[in-house]
């Protein structure tokens, strides 16, 4: 059955105390909104509609950066969750199938939970959870053992209803045509003066339809409302990602010091030393080694490669098998073929390095002229001497060498040695004479000041 996602993301998130709309605050390198979209995308929805309001342009960009087919509907005034869903249906004309409503500020709903909701035989299915410590949530009122009668918002609940511990997560699933009809009929005569999405349950039951509850753990429905919640969400994500990495056969010496992104992939038997940070878009194959204090984003590390300590791999860094990248090396938009060694103190940007080439300490690709970026091509089995400046665009041939301290501004053919430095001048005995002179000067100054 076709599925459409409606993701509610119009709220400002006042308690974040931020210029950025709440759903664009990040957990594990991705906006909260993207986490919600990702959970939903596992169901392979035919349509995804994001309801934006506050800072709609920024929300639209984030949604479409992640999924360019996502549609965004504007809810100019936030009149409640039911009103927001009604707006979404303006983009869903002609869609038939099931609709799942998610919140853009609730990042950890599992795809499996959403699948269970879709598979539940009911006209309206609500995701609930057990909790005894909340004032804010709507309460799920059951009839019989497995039927849901209605949802009552905390503000509108009687003291007896407030004692109910089965809470509404806000996630809801229903047939599209039915839900469109139900939200169109909502009223706002309640404590908040809002159109409550939750009222569709009572309305469906009044029509003789079946509403049911699927439950999940409270942690799954964790929402973010303030910076404290963001910290808690990040911690929850990291705890999960670390455990998952260990289960997948990754060695983490000090898991609590390793930070993963929402999309990090690390292969089996890779070792990650303490204090490593993964930004978005990193894949590491099996049997690699990431030493301490590395900062990695948008890069690929192949089997058997070793990186760090203190290395920075930026977007477009691709390390083939058995590449070695050592301390204080930065690599951006550069492909390093098999067996390349870049041991120390180097910047490689906009470059390609052929297999088994050795890059000496202090090598810099001078890739930027202040206006444009230029490429450096280095052939296989070359040797770049320490402290070589490679002024791009420039090509170093296969098996070529550059002398230490060279500033290379012209292409170097295969097998050639390029020297781009001034010739050395040696003055026998001059150092000893200078030392004598300097010592005498120092002694003279000492006597004058005493
Ligand atoms: C809602 C539920 C409540 C549930 C709780 C779970 C209703 C009436 N209540 O309450 O039963 O226990 O979530 O967290 O649905 N939004 C819009 N446009 C609007 C209003 C809200 O896009 O006009 C978005 C918000 O940005 C947010 C989400 O919908 O992402 C939920 O809205 P919020 O105001 O937080 O609802 P709650 O009062 O928490
Ligand atoms: Mg809320």
How do residues 268-325 score in pLDDT, each as one tens digit?
999 999 999 999 999 999 999 999 999 999 999 999 999 999 999 999 999 999 999 9
Q: Give the tens place of pLDDT for each residue, 309-342.
A: 999 999 999 999 999 999 999 999 999 999 999 9
Has domain 227-418 been given CATH number 3.30.70.270? no
Residue from 81, 134, 196, 226 whose mutation best tests the ligand 1 pocket (most atoms within 8 A of CB): 81
Can you tell me the mean pLDDT for 226-255?
Answer: 97
Residue 268 tokens read as 């089996």
Query: Is the CB of 84 within 6 Å of ligand 1?
Result: yes
Report in angstroms the alpha-carbon separations of 318 from 197, 362, 441: 48, 20, 55
Domains 3-221 and 227-418 fall in the same CATH topology: no
Question: What is the position in ligand 1's atom list of the atom closest to the CA of 151?
Answer: 11
Q: Rounded to 5 degrees, what angle do the CA atoms 44, 45, 49 make?
A: 140
Give me ligand 2 centre to Cα 60, in Å: 21
Of all ligands present, the nearest one to the C-alpha of 78 is 1
Length of the chain: 450
**In 3D, which of 139, 174, 176 has the Cα closest to residue 160?**
139
The residue extents of the domains of the chain are 3-221, 227-418
Q: Show the tokens assigned to 51.
A: 């309801």
Q: How much is the pLDDT for 56? A: 96
Query: Which ligand sits closest to the CA of 140?
Result: 1
- Residues 23 and 102: their CA atoms lie apart, in Å, by 12
Tell me the pLDDT of the chain averaged across its residues. 97
pLDDT tens string 99-118: 999 999 999 999 999 999 99
Give the mean model confidence (pLDDT) for residues 247-255.
98
Check pocket membership of 223 for ligand 1, CB cut-off 6 A.
yes
Nearest C-alpha neighbor of 206 from the set 231, 185, 232, 229: 185
What is the DSSP annotation of 291-349?
A: -SS-EE-S-EE-TT-EE-SSEEE-TTEEE-TT-EEEEEEEEEEEEE-TT-EEEEEEEEE
C-beta separation of 99 from 2 below 8 A? no
pLDDT band at 129 (very low <50, low <70, confident <90, very high): very high
Residues 199, 201, 204, 209, Cα dihedral to 10°: -170
Please list the active-site residues.
Answer: 344
Exposure string over 348-386, b if 16+ CB within 10 A, otherwise e: bbbbbbbbbbbbbbbbbbbbeeeeeebbbbbbbebbbbb
Average pLDDT over residues 209-215: 97
Instruction: For residue range 334-365, list pLDDT tens digits in order.
Output: 999 999 999 999 999 999 999 999 999 999 99
Cβ neighbours, 10 Å, residue 421: 16
Using the atom order of ligand 1, give the atom closest to the CA of residue 83: 23
Q: Which two tokens stand for residue 233?
A: 């969400």
What is the model's pTM? Answer: 0.93
Q: Reply yes or no on whether the pLDDT at 12 is more than 90.
A: no
At residue 445, the pLDDT reads: 97
pLDDT for the residue 13: 87
Task: Choose which residue among 5, 7, 11, 190 to substitute to test ligand 1 binding: the one with the highest number of ligand atoms within 8 A of its C-beta.
Answer: 11
Q: Choose between 13 and 234: higher pLDDT.
A: 234
CATH (residue range 3-221): 3.90.550.10
Split at pLDDT 50, 70, 90, the class of 261 is: very high
Please say whether the beta carbons of 378 and 384 come within 8 A.
yes
- Predicted confidence (pLDDT) per residue in 61-83, tens digit: 999 999 999 999 999 999 999 99
Residue 80 beta carbon below 6 angstroms from any ligand 1 atom: yes
* C-alpha distances out from residue 98 to 3, 127, 309, 422, Å: 5, 15, 50, 74
């Amino acid at each position: 059955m076709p599925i459409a996602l409606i993701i509610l993301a119009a709220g400002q998130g006042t308690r974040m105390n931020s210029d950025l709309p709440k759903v664009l605050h990040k957990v594990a390198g991705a906006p909260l909104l993207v986490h919600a979209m990702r959970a939903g995308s596992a169901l392979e929805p035919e349509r995804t509609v994001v309801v934006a309001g506050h800072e709609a342009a920024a929300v639209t960009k984030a949604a479409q950066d992640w999924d360019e087919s996502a549609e965004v509907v504007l809810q100019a005034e936030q009149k409640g969750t039911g009103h927001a869903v009604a707006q979404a249906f303006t983009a869903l004309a002609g869609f038939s199938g099931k609709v799942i409503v998610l919140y853009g500020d609730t990042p950890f709903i599992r795809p499996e939970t959403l699948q269970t909701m879709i598979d539940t035989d009911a006209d309206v299915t609500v995701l609930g959870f057990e909790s005894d410590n909340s004032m804010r949530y709507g309460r799920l009122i059951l009839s019989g053992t497995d039927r849901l009668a209605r949802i009552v918002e905390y503000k509108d609940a009687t003291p007896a209803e407030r004692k109910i511990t089965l809470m509404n997560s806000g996630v809801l699933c229903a047939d599209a045509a039915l839900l469109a009809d139900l939200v169109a009929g909502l009223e706002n005569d309640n404590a908040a003066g809002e159109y409550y999405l939750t009222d569709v349950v009572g309305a469906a039951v009044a029509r003789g339809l079946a509403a049911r509850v699927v439950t999940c753990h409270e942690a799954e429905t964790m929402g973010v409302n303030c910076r404290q919640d963001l910290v808690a969400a990040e911690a929850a994500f990291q705890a999960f990602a670390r455990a998952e990495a260990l289960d997948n056969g990754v060695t983490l010496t000090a898991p609590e010091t390793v930070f993963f992104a929402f999309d990090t992939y690390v292969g089996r038997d890779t070792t990650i030393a303490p204090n490593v940070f993964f930004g978005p878009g990193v894949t590491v194959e099996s049997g690699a080694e990431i030493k301490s204090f590395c900062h990695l984003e948008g890069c690929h590390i192949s089997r058997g490669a070793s990186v760090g300590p203190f290395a920075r791999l930026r977007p477009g860094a691709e390390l083939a098998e058995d590449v070695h990248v050592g301390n204080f090396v930065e690599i951006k938009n550069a492909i390093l073929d098999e067996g390349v060694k870049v041991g120390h103190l180097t910047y490689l940007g906009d470059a390609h390095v052929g297999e088994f080439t050795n890059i000496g300490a202090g090598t810099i690709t001078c890739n930027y002229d202040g206006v444009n970026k230029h490429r450096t091509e280095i052939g296989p089995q070359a040797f770049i001497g320490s402290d070589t400046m490679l002024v791009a665009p420039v090509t170093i041939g296969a098996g070529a060498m550059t002398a230490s301290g060279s500033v290379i501004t012209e292409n170097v053919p295969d097998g050639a040695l390029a020297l781009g430095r001034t010739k050395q001048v040696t003055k026998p005995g001059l150092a000893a004479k200078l030392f004598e002179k300097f010592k005498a000067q120092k002694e003279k100054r000492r006597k004058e000041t005493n």
